[in-house]
Amino acid sequence: MFWFSWYSLSLFTPIVFTTPSSVSLLSLGIIDDGDDESFLASVLVENSSLGFSRNIFISLTCRFVSNISSSSIVFPLSICVYNLLIRFKISLWGGVLVALDIRGFRFSLDGITIRRCSIEDIGGVISVNRRTLPENYSTSLFLAMLRRFGDIFFVAVDISQDSIIGYCMNKLEYNTKSFFAAKKVTKGHVFSIGVLHEYRRRGIASALMVVSLKHMFMLGASEIFLEVRVSNIPAQNLYNKFGFEVVMRVPRYYADGEDAYVMAVPRERIESLIDELYLRLRELGVLEE
């Protein structure tokens, strides 16, 4: 009983004070296996902007703290530290501290422009797709995506060669179950992204993501998701930089039997970062409008 009241208080207080508007506390419980050294507390918080990460963090903190001490001071302190991190847009995803910060993005985009894909670009997009990914869709799929979601289909062009060197093809999915809250939402789906090998690590994929997310938000997406091979660490790093977190693992998602992670991010978490980066790209003269 003592444990219950003390820990409920220490969990509940910082949550209510840091995010007063968007949190609803669904359930709060302590699972005590009878051993003070190894209890596990779990908090289920329905919160559109924090979602799973906070839940997992709190569980892990409880385990960690219970291992070093059953003292009741360390635990609430660590929760408060976590809330401070959130204030400063630093979060814990996949066990790594990730700072959602414009300073983490370096662009080296001289001679590159980003613009909407046009029908004449489809051949170039297909060629980049063939050279960068094992998922090679049919020409008619690319054309159908262009017809239906041309507003959110972007290409990166090497101006001197006048050739497509990267693309990001997206779609919107309406009235689908949210990854972060118990409701139906419009989701933006990053369907396929690729950048030619010679052009990598210059921020081109990041720029394509910024432009894609910006326009999907403008068209009403309240969260963005994608699938990525569990072995594709470069792409997962890219998505982590944008605050995506793994929300699901789909066994044998790919034709060769590999599993996929579904990664997603709620709009609230990254909208201001996307706006800042979009402005930066405009200043750099990368966006053709």
Nearest Cα to Cα of residue 286 among 161, 154, 173, 179: 154
Tell me how far the alpha carbon of residue 178 is from its chain's centroid: 14
Residue nearer to Zn ion on the CB measure, 223 or 227: 227
- Give the number of residues in contact with Zn ion, rule: CB under 5 A: 1
Instruction: Pick from 227, 239, 240, 267 the residue near Zn ion by CB under 5 A.
Output: 227
25-33, 102-110, 134-142, 221-229 -> range binding Zn ion (CB under 5 A): 221-229
Q: What CA–CA distance (Å, rounded) separates 74 from 172?
A: 44
245 interacts with Zn ion by CB under 5 A: no
> In the 8-state DSSP scheme, what is residue 242?
T
Vertex 186, ends 185 and 192: CA angle to 5°?
130
Residue nearer to ligand ACO on the CB measure, 188 or 194: 194
Q: What CA–CA distance (Å, rounded) separates 258 from 238?
A: 20
Q: What CA–CA distance (Å, rounded) separates 257 from 275?
A: 38
Residue nearer to Zn ion on the CB measure, 121 or 227: 227
36-44, 64-72, 220-228, 258-266 -> range binding Zn ion (CB under 5 A): 220-228
Query: Contact positions toward ligand ACO, by CB under 6 A?
Result: 106, 132-133, 190, 192-195, 200-206, 226-228, 232-235, 237-238, 241
Nearest Cα to Cα of residue 221 among 212, 233, 209: 212
Does an H or E element contain 27, and which?
A: strand 23-31
Q: Residue 220 binds what, of Zn ion, ligand ACO, none (CB under 5 to 8 Å, by partner type)? A: none
| Adjacent-strand bridge partners of 45 | 25
To the nearest whole angstrom, how small is the minimum distance from the Cβ of residue 262 to Zn ion?
Answer: 8
Q: Residue 232 binds what, of Zn ion, ligand ACO, none (CB under 5 to 8 Å, by partner type)? A: ligand ACO
Residues that bind Zn ion (CB under 5 A): 227
